[in-house]
Amino acid sequence: MSGDVNRDSNRSGAFVVSEGRRKMQKAARTAGESILLLIASFVAIVVLFIFYFVAVDAVPYFQQRGFAEFFTSSNWYPAGDPGEFGALAIIYGTGMVTLGSALLAVPMGIAAAVCLSDILPFSVRQYAKPVIEMLAAIPSVAFGFFALVILAPLLQTSGGPMLMWVWWILAGPFLLLAVIVGSDLLTAGIEEPVRRKRYATMLQVLFTLLAFLVLYVVGSQLNGMQILTGTNALNVSIILSFMALPTIVSVAEDSLQSVGRELREGSYALGATRAETLVKTVLPAASSGILAAVILGIMRSLGETMVVWMASGNSSHIPDPWYNYLEAVRTLTATIAGDMGEADQVTGSARYHVLFAMGLLLLVISFISNLISERIVVRQRKILSGQ
């Protein structure tokens, strides 16, 4: 409609337009804009609909059974009559794999983001970024398949030795570093060069021995460990951390990039090394953006379905002891995906509604964390732009 009006106005010699036509044009423009606005607010309508329809099917469960059972009991027997719907173990399992993946992904993601933005030369960064994007593009079911068919049997047959090597390779360099720094710090106060040297050497030898002892003892403990089931919380955490990494890296890198050059240059001018500049100046300045990255990454692993469904073992009990990552767990997403097939959709049984209650819980968590991360990003942008 607005197109026609435009064509007319062009023909009439552009600027001299009669009063009636100008009114028509204006009306058309407002009509067109309100259509655009309607389409743009479609997303908001969808969000409201999602909340409404998930909540509507979740409410009957809470009406029938109350809140207490859902959050305090860990007896999950939905097939029984009337059935027990304690979701505590499932919520716990969700928290466990989310925390596990965050523990793996957050340090690695921040290190990778720092490396991308400050350490690698542009020629390498050009190729490193697409690799990370590719990791994000791989469908979750392919990761789930990998976890189930390749990683789980591997953990089951040679999990102990694998854990030992991972421990040695990861912890070895860090302990060595701790020895160097620790002895340096302890001898820092001593003035005389000779005494200081002897003292430092003694400390270094002592620390090194201690470090190797710790490395060896923990390593041999891990080596002797038997993993009874390969589909466990550890397996899921590893794969989920792969999936959360790209999100964390790209958001954290953006926020590191937005830290101004003058902060870095000021730090270098004071004689700080690159590591000191990054740790003491750049990272604190970008900290809120990094926090947002971490939240988004955690949300990615919290909301993931296929990997946890395929590789978590789907056992709804709290592991014993509570921190045992080598036991099968169950998560909210996997429960929804796995149980909906058996839940009676037509008559709307309690089993059907409890799955919607879980969906609502996920929805609320994701909504709140999204709000927080958004707030953080806005605030950081304001601070960095100096307002």
| Binding residues among 311-340 for other proteins as defined by CB under 8 A | 333, 336-337, 340
Cα 193 to Cα 199, 200, 204, distances in angstroms = 10, 10, 16
350 belongs to the binding site for other proteins (CB under 8 A): no
- The DSSP annotation for 90-130 comes to HHHHHHHHHHHHHHHHHHHHHHHHHIIIIIS-HHHHHHHHH
Q: Which is nearer to other proteins, 75 or 337 (CB)?
A: 337
Rounded-to-integer distance, Cα 277 and Cα 217, Å:
36
Cα 272 to Cα 81, 183, 185, 377, distances in angstroms = 68, 21, 18, 28
Touching other proteins, residues 107-136 (CB under 8 A): 108-109, 111-112, 114-116, 118-120, 128, 130-135
3 belongs to the binding site for other proteins (CB under 8 A): yes
171 belongs to the binding site for other proteins (CB under 8 A): no
142 belongs to the binding site for other proteins (CB under 8 A): yes
Binds other proteins (CB under 8 A): choice among 66, 257, 367, 383: 367
Binds other proteins (CB under 8 A): choice among 90, 259, 294, 310: 310
Q: How far is the CB of 119 from other proteins (least distance, A)?
A: 5
Q: Could you tell me what percentage of the chain is helix, strand and coil, using 3-state DSSP and rounding each to the nearest 5?
A: 80, 0, 20
Provide the mask over 144-163, with x wherever binding to other proteins is found by CB under 8 A and - wherever it is not: xxx-xxx-------------
Binds other proteins (CB under 8 A): choice among 27, 31, 103, 138: 138
Does residue 164 sit in helix, strand or coil? helix
> How many residues lie near other proteins (CB under 8 A)?
99
240 belongs to the binding site for other proteins (CB under 8 A): no
Touching other proteins, residues 38-57 (CB under 8 A): 39-44, 46-47, 49-50, 53-54, 56-57
**Whether the Cβ atoms of residue 89 and residue 331 lie closer than 8 Å to each other:** no
**Whether the Cβ atoms of residue 17 and residue 9 lie closer than 8 Å to each other:** yes
Q: Which is nearer to other proteins, 75 or 182 (CB)?
A: 182
Q: Which is nearer to other proteins, 119 or 318 (CB)?
A: 119
Rounded-to-integer distance, Cα 233 and Cα 97, Å:
6
Q: Which is nearer to other proteins, 289 or 359 (CB)?
A: 359
- The DSSP annotation for 304-334 comes to --HHHHHHSB---S--SSTT-TTS-B--HHH
Report residue 319 as tokens: 């592991």
Cα 140 to Cα 117, 303, 309, distances in angstroms = 27, 11, 11
Q: How far is the CB of 369 from other proteins (least distance, A)?
A: 7
Binds other proteins (CB under 8 A): choice among 66, 82, 173, 284: 173
Rounded-to-integer distance, Cα 336 and Cα 333, Å:
5
Q: Which is nearer to other proteins, 145 or 165 (CB)?
A: 145
Binds other proteins (CB under 8 A): choice among 4, 8, 344, 374: 374
Rounded-to-integer distance, Cα 194 and Cα 179, Å:
20
Q: How far is the CB of 112 from other proteins (least distance, A)?
A: 4
Touching other proteins, residues 255-294 (CB under 8 A): 273-276, 278-279
Q: How far is the CB of 24 from other proteins (least distance, A)?
A: 13
**Whether the Cβ atoms of residue 328 and residue 236 lie closer than 8 Å to each other:** no
